[in-house]
Amino acid sequence: MAGTAPRHTDGEGVDGGVGLTALLVAAARAIETHRHDSLAQDAYAEHFVRAAPACAQWPVRLQQVPDGDDNPLWGRFTRYFGLRTRVLDDFLLRSVRNGTRQVVLLGAGLDTRAFRLDWPSDCVVFEIDRAAVLAFKHRVLTDLSASPRAKRVPVPVDLRADWVTALTTAGFDPAAPSVWLAEGLLFYLPSPAETYLVDTVDRLTTEGSAFAFEAKLEKDLLEYRDSAIYTATREQIGIDLLHLFDKGPRPDSAGHLAARGWSTAVHTPFDYTHRHGRGPLPEPNDALEGNRWIFAHKPRP
């Protein structure tokens, strides 16, 4: 496991800047997969971590972490990602059970849901991320001879640019119901890009569609800069999350959708810790305190 951290600079690939956060979530999923009380299983996750030189020293099992669950990064933070994965797996599967056949993963990173969830055979999963991240993902999954369990359509595009043309050109049908996910994404985008994204999801969705996303409520992101999670992530693996997050004021995307007629449910991660009987609990100076998971549905008439 890494002791002192290299500093990573902003880059377009998976091995630097915001791309590296996709590997962090993959490492968390690897650790979660091998917990005796695992909340989500992702057999591919550890292969991404092992394929990227930037994280060769990262653990993929909790047993490789000397202080185990007491480690704020590899213990509590990875459990957070494990819980988030499970909750959003359940959300997507509920939507397809209700008849939706188009799934759009915004900022998909190394999400392997297309490969590991039990989709109806006529389901299409669109994965939007930057080209270099999707190229790395493709290489690792091809080396593993992994087969998707639905039709999988990578859409390499930057969400700060015109991604709608890329998505519709890739086959997305705005006239059919869809379910959308922005997991660990919005706080990396400038506020206008987030507002554009939410407006666009509204514009491209029929009644009966659904959208889950993660937001941070705090007005001042630096409020928790000394929290154990941010400090451990910076010191142990050189990822300064606060440096990567957009610093501008965040839009009220849940309120925005509600004003457009969507029904919205806003939950803390801790709600699900209680529901599942495991996961992170609140603590003082907690960087997770302002995190919210929002589940929005566009009602049918």
Ligand X SMILES: C[S@@+](CC[C@H](N)C(=O)[O-])C[C@H]1O[C@@H](n2cnc3c(N)ncnc32)[C@H](O)[C@@H]1O
Considering CB under 6 A, how many residues would be counted as binding ligand X?
Answer: 21
Choose the binding region for ligand X from 95-103, 125-133, 219-227, 280-288 (rule: CB under 6 A): 125-133
* 280 near ligand X, judged by CB under 6 A: no
* 80 near ligand X, judged by CB under 6 A: no
Task: Pick one of 34, 50, 151, 160: the residue that binds ligand X (CB under 6 A).
Answer: 160
* 185 near ligand X, judged by CB under 6 A: yes
Could you tell me whether strands 102-106 and 124-129 are parallel, antiparallel, or unpaired per DSSP bridges?
A: parallel
- Judged by DSSP in three states, 199 sits in helix
* 216 near ligand X, judged by CB under 6 A: no
Considering beta carbons, is residue 206 or 238 the nearer one to ligand X? 238
* 107 near ligand X, judged by CB under 6 A: yes
Considering beta carbons, is residue 89 or 258 the nearer one to ligand X? 89
Ordered alpha helix ranges (H), the chain: 19-33, 45-51, 78-97, 113-116, 131-143, 163-169, 191-203, 228-237, 241-244, 253-259, 269-276
Give 224's contacts (C-beta < 8 A, 6+ positions apart). Answer: 218, 230, 285, 286, 287, 289, 290
* Angstrom distances, CA of residue 284 to CA of 195, 231, 287, 289: 31, 14, 9, 9
Residue nearest ligand X, Cβ-based: 109
Q: Which two tokens stand for residue 95?
A: 């939507």
* 21 near ligand X, judged by CB under 6 A: yes
Residues that bind ligand X (CB under 6 A): 18-19, 21-22, 25, 107-111, 129-130, 133, 158-160, 183-185, 188-189
